Amino acid sequence: MIHQEGAVKFIPPPPKVFFRERARLARDLGVLGIRAMAFSEPILVAETFAGTGIRSLRYLREVPNVEHAYLNDLNSEALQTIEKNARLNRLEDRITTFRLEANNFHYTLKTQEIFPHVLDLDAFGSPVPFLDSAFHAVREGGVLYVTATDLPALCGVDPRSAFNHYGVLTMQNWFCHETAARILTRAVIRAGARRKFQAAPLFVMFDGLALRGFFQVVHGRYDLDPEQEGFLSFCPQCWEVRAIPMKQCCPRQCSQGHPVELAGPLWLGELHNPDFLERMRSEFPRVAHWLQIERVAFFLDRMREEVGMPPFFYRLDRVSKRLKISPPKVSEVIRALKDRGYPAAWTHFHTNAFKTTAPLPVVFDTVRALAH
């Protein structure tokens, strides 16, 4: 039986070839993101861990300027699957396959003077071992689209792995997926900076499976801002969360004098570029028939709301439990906080959560006042 996703047909993925149907959102966002880049020349795409090749085939079919895709996988069965899927879509003349270790693939692109506009690095686990070489391959002005699936490390379940791979401290709490996104973002930005590239986050998100970061890569001297990197401190006792820039690192106590936990160093700046999210949204009318448009719109809108908000969020069920009340609706809390004069927003990281600049006592008081 032949499957279909977006504009692309594909054979059932063999058991040993990596494919996650549920990762469709990441492929949809990739299509929109590349379209929104509005490259003025024919686009070259490279995929480091290509698996079935569906992602690149979708880019070839669903983004008008994509001319050629370079797909790599170490698994020979994956390469056969890619060739079959390419023929099925009459795209066999527009792909080149490689069977190389990931870093070797990046360096091979460079030595063959193939500089992709889009380098799609969907690693199993941490992408960190491949980031430095990725910045050798990707073209100036291009995009690095990075996936990380090592959530146990980044979410504090396996702190040793986090320290080994990222050199960071982690925390295990309800906003750990945002902490994880910020650790990954800093890792990408730092790898870029080592090669004198600026990697600007256009969006960095958690889709329920993995972290996805879409970075614009610009070559040239620039200085990283110590105010945008630092730590998050969390008080397990009173729940105070604070963003602590590098130079102020690191208070050991919250404002009430309780000992705090620390996560970082991580990225404290914006995870999303609101103009870019708007450009992605403006592509909807031209791709609506290929994408799961409602799901994509949900995430784009939530990400847009997060811009300008603090680098953490509150989960309403946890707050309500702490206050021993039955929880109000998130929308009611956001409205009430805004009525009190504090910016407040939904977050894409969790459905039952909100972000706000309001101090913690105000958050508690607002939620309590709405108790049913």
Closer to Zn ion by CB, 258 or 335: give it: 258
Closer to Zn ion by CB, 208 or 251: give it: 251
CB of 261 to Zn ion, least distance (A): 11
CB of 330 to Zn ion, least distance (A): 24
DSSP string, 173-240: STTHHHHHHHHHHHHHHHHHHHTTEEEEEEEEEE-SS-EEEEEEEEES-----GGGEEEEEE-TTT--
By C-alpha distance, which of 232, 366, 355 is closest to 302? Answer: 355
Alpha-carbon distance 66 to 60, whole Å?
5
179: which 2 tokens? 């902490």
As to burial, measured by CB atoms within 10 angstroms (0-12 exposed, 13-18 middle, 19+ buried), residue 9 is: middle
Alpha-carbon distance 75 to 70, whole Å?
15
CB of 182 to Zn ion, least distance (A): 21
Give the binding site for Zn ion (CB under 5 A).
Answer: 235, 237-238, 240, 254, 256, 258
Closer to Zn ion by CB, 256 or 282: give it: 256
CB of 268 to Zn ion, least distance (A): 20
Beta pairing, strands 344-346 & 314-315: unpaired
Alpha-carbon distance 215 to 146, whole Å?
8
DSSP 3-state assignment of 156?
A: coil
Closer to Zn ion by CB, 76 or 256: give it: 256
CB of 239 to Zn ion, least distance (A): 7
CA atoms within 13 A on the CB side of 136: 16
Cβ contact 207:299 at 8 Å: yes
CB of 159 to Zn ion, least distance (A): 21
Closer to Zn ion by CB, 254 or 277: give it: 254
Closer to Zn ion by CB, 29 or 319: give it: 319
CB of 251 to Zn ion, least distance (A): 11
CB of 121 to Zn ion, least distance (A): 39
Closer to Zn ion by CB, 250 or 297: give it: 250
Alpha-carbon distance 189 to 182, whole Å?
10
Closer to Zn ion by CB, 141 or 361: give it: 361
204: which 2 tokens? 């960095």
Instruction: Report how far apart, in Å, the C-alpha atoms of 230 and of each of 244, 272, 347, 371 are.
Output: 6, 18, 21, 36
